[in-house]
Amino acid sequence: GAVVSQHPSRVICKSGTSVKIECRSLDFQATTMFWYRQFPKQSLMLMATSNEGSKATYEQGVEKDKFLINHASLTLSTLTVTSAHPEDSSFYICSARGLGGRAGVSYNEQFFGPGTRLTVL
């Protein structure tokens, strides 16, 4: 099946610093990647959708200058939390939608990464 990885799995940083989270599709090409945020014991909130080679589309209420998303290749998307503050502490999860045509990869299905736990002190 399709595998999506995220790095790092956990990160602790000081307030005011920037943190970059990577999301990779390991065995398929991801035309679209999604970034979610999950607060403790709550559901996933879609932050933005990124298509390879184009600018990300942000959901209402998500600050695009705060959460920079880059999707430069068909296997990598990055989320950079700029000038992080304690309220940005959360579990960030990415997902990827496949190009199709590969065994086990369905074009209309998202495959999720394991998540990144961000703690801002």
Partner 1 sequence: GDSVTQMEGPVTLSEEAFLTINCTYTATGYPSLFWYVQYPGEGLQLLLKATKADDKGSNKGFEATYRKETTSFHLEKGSVQVSDSAVYFCALSDPDYKLSFGAGTTVTVRA
CA 46 to chain centre: 10
d(CA 101, CA 86): 42
CA-to-CA dists, residue 115 to 21, 59, 70, angstroms: 10, 19, 17
Burial 93-118 (b: 16+ CB within 10 A, else e): bbbbbbbeeeeebeeeebbbbebbeb
Q: Is 34 in the site for partner 1 (CB under 8 A)?
A: yes
**From candidates 17, 42, 73, 83, binder to partner 1 by CB under 8 A:** 42
For partner 1, the closer CB: 42 or 83:
42
Please report whether residue 29 would count as binding partner 1 according to CB under 8 A: no
Q: Would you count residue 43 as binding partner 1 (CB under 8 A)?
A: yes
Is residue 80 part of the contact set for partner 1 (CB under 8 A)?
no
25: tokens are 């599709």
Q: Which stretch binds partner 1 (CB under 8 A): 14-22, 65-73, 78-86, 103-111?
A: 103-111
Number of chain positions touching partner 1 (CB under 8 A): 20
Footprint of partner 1 on this chain (CB under 8 A)?
6, 32, 34, 41-44, 46, 49, 93, 95, 97, 108-115
